[in-house]
Amino acid sequence: MDHIKIIAAFCIIEDAMGGLGHKSHKLAGVTDAEVLWLAVVASMHFHNHHERTLFVLRGTGYISKPLSTSRFSRRLHALGWLLEYILEMVGEVFAKGNVYVIDSLPVPVCKRVRAARCRKFDRHGGNRRRGRAYFGRCAAKKWSFYGWRLHLICTPEGVPVRFALLPASFHDLTPIYEITFGLPKGAKVYADKGYISALVKRTLRPTLKRDGVHLVTWHKKNMNKRNSFEEWCGLKGYRHTIETANSQLESMGIQALHARINAGFALKVISSLFALTCINAF
């Protein structure tokens, strides 16, 4: 385990909660900051296995009081909104540069062949088409899956600054306006060929001064317009960042998460992004 990054994660969470005026119950042996920190450490080093994390950190002296897995899970679900809020705050701190990278990552709930038995989505409720939205395909890996797709914007260092978790069938351009909102004016966002859209480019930079977000993508061979030398250098220099970040998330087990309900699934995704922030920022 990387003790420096583990301690850095705890300092960020504790300072943020202190700044928000949040206080743990006076009878709690393990504070609320420690509960959120345990979830981040579980993503960072234990593939989101909470029971194993509690056992190891209790044995190594990181936490002084015992905490059962069920009690930890209940407290984590009650504080989940706070972990997401802190992650967004940290993202705002790092969203000050002029270069960013965007991509999407499959986050399956189960294999496609088991989708008929999956009960995490209401496939047979009021809207029969609702479950179909979670069938997706990863063109890069040439495999189909059932679940979500994580849309992520990172800095050149691989620190997440914006993210969105949407059903797997949604196109990469679906959340482009929401997750690029608030980025510095004139910032360049480098993307792959899945983000090609002349309309989106014009919409992101609507003014004559061109002070909006500049979406830079690889151009296909059959397109009349070619990438400029500046765009080519930027794509070659920065695209590896998001691929590395995706590989880091995969090594944390983000594509093999186990959760009974969607809220628990989303919590593990958020804690994985928080762990990625601590790994790449410090």
> Are 159 and 223 found together in one domain?
yes
The whole-number pLDDT of residue 6 equals 93
> Are 125 and 102 found together in one domain?
yes
The answer to the question of residue 260 being in a domain is: no
Residues near 119 by beta carbon (within 8 Å), at least 6 away in sequence: none
> Are 109 and 247 found together in one domain?
yes
> Are 143 and 223 found together in one domain?
yes
> Are 242 and 179 found together in one domain?
yes
- Residue-range definition of the domain harbouring residue 119: 96-251
Binned average pLDDT, 10 residues per bin, the chain of 282 residues? 89 94 90 95 94 93 90 95 95 93 92 78 51 84 88 95 94 92 90 87 70 84 80 90 93 91 92 96 86
C-alpha 212/C-alpha 195 separation (Å) is 17
What is the count of structural domains for the chain?
2
> Are 148 and 81 found together in one domain?
no
The whole-number pLDDT of residue 259 equals 87
Residue 170 CB burial class (10 angstroms; 0-12, 13-18, ≥19): middle
The whole-number pLDDT of residue 122 equals 57
* Residue from 259, 256, 248, 263 nearest 44 by CA: 248
Residues near 1 by beta carbon (within 8 Å), at least 6 away in sequence: 41, 45
* Residue from 227, 183, 224, 218 nearest 204 by CA: 183
The whole-number pLDDT of residue 223 equals 78
Please tell me the pTM assigned to this model.
0.91
Helical (H) or strand (E) element with 174: none
The answer to the question of residue 206 being in a domain is: yes
Instruction: Look at residues 42, 72, 93 and tell me which one is the last residue of a structural domain.
Output: 93
> Are 155 and 211 found together in one domain?
yes
> Are 24 and 160 found together in one domain?
no
The answer to the question of residue 212 being in a domain is: yes
The whole-number pLDDT of residue 125 equals 46
At 143, which amino acid appears?
W
> Are 77 and 101 found together in one domain?
no
